[in-house]
Every structure is written in structure tokens, then in C-alpha cells.
């Protein structure tokens, strides 16, 4: 690589020429998929354009069975199960709290500046 090339300057030139198109493509894709939660894309919470929050919880069979068993064991009086389930619910509430903190003030996603 040529050591005389100013990478930051080249990046800015690229963004000035192409950045608006990339921003628009990303925005359009986010708008088109705003109501879709995909187990493979790593997105587990989204605000849709109509102001609704969607949360995706993904479990394999063993995880789902363990969570349900822990819940019922807690209901039957197991202190350990109640504690474990409480920790899980607390992490879910932290996720929800983070989503609420990221919600746009007007409930609408921000459009790119083009």
C-alpha cells in the first residue's frame, strides 16, 4: 500500500460521492424490514415505523424446556428457581429498557439526509 495515500481523505471523497446512496439503501432496507425479526440476523428488537416495539426471543428446545421448568419450580416454592427466573426476567427488562431509551422521540425512524 502506498504510504503517501491519505486514507481518511480517500474515505471522505468516497462518502461525499457515494455516501448518500449507501445511506438511502440502508434506510430503505430498514424501512422495508422494520416489522421483520430474523433469528439469523442478530436483531432481537426493533421499533417499527408505526411505533410498535417487537422483541424476538430465540430458544432451542432445551432452553425453552429449562425456562418453563424453572418458572413452574419457582411457582412451586423453589427459592433457587425463583432466583434464576428473576435473573432471566431482569435481563429481559434491561433489554426492554435499552429499547425504550433508543426509541425516537416522535416514534418514527430517522430518515437519511440525502
pLDDT digits (tens, 9 = 90+) for 53-106: 888 888 889 999 999 999 999 999 999 999 999 999 999 999 888 888 876 666
pLDDT band for position 112 (50/70/90)? Answer: very low
* Domain boundaries defined on the chain: 7-102
What pLDDT, on the 0 to 100 scale, is given for residue 114? 42
Residue with more model confidence, 114 or 12: 12
Is the per-residue pLDDT at 113 higher than 80?
Answer: no
Q: How far is 73 from 85, CA to CA, in rounded Å?
A: 10
Nearest to 22 by CA among 106, 113, 105: 113
- Mean pLDDT value across the chain: 83
Nearest to 96 by CA among 48, 44, 33, 60: 44
Amino acid at each position: 500500500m502506498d504510504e503517501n495515500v491519505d486514507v481518511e481523505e480517500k474515505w471522505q471523497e468516497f462518502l461525499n460521492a457515494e455516501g448518500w446512496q449507501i445511506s438511502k439503501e440502508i434506510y430503505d432496507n430498514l424501512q422495508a424490514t422494520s416489522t421483520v425479526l430474523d433469528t439469523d440476523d442478530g436483531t432481537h428488537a426493533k421499533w417499527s415505523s408505526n411505533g410498535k416495539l417487537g422483541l424476538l426471543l430465540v430458544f432451542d428446545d432445551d432452553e425453552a424446556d429449562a425456562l418453563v421448568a424453572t418458572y413452574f419450580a419457582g411457582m412451586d416454592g423453589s427459592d433457587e428457581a425463583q432466583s434464576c427466573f428473576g435473573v432471566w426476567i431482569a435481563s429481559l427488562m434491561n433489554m426492554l429498557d435499552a429499547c425504550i431509551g433508543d426509541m425516537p422521540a416522535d416514534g418514527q425512524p430517522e430518515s437519511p439526509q440525502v
